[in-house]
Amino acid sequence: FEAGARQVWAIYPRERLAYLYDSPVKLRIITDGDDLIGGDVIPGFQLPLARLFPPALPRDGSSTTNGNA
């Protein structure tokens, strides 16, 4: 923020979430069910956070393929 940034996005693909900093002490956490919104920094920007990540595996960790190559 010392360099003039008005907002910082830290994206964590493994956890499927993002930290949005509006200041060094103001943090919002969004998950892959939320939208990343540019607010007054990037007016009109809106992106479902899930689009940044590969499709989620089923909760049991099994693959959705049938094993055939």
Asked whether the predicted pLDDT for residue 40 surpasses 60, the reply is: yes
pLDDT in tens, 7-37: 999 999 999 999 999 999 999 999 999 999 9
Among 54, 46, 47, residue whose Cα is nearest residue 16: 54
Type of residue found at 53: F
Distance CA 23, CA 27 (A): 7
**Whole-number average pLDDT of the chain:** 87
Is the pTM higher than 0.85? no
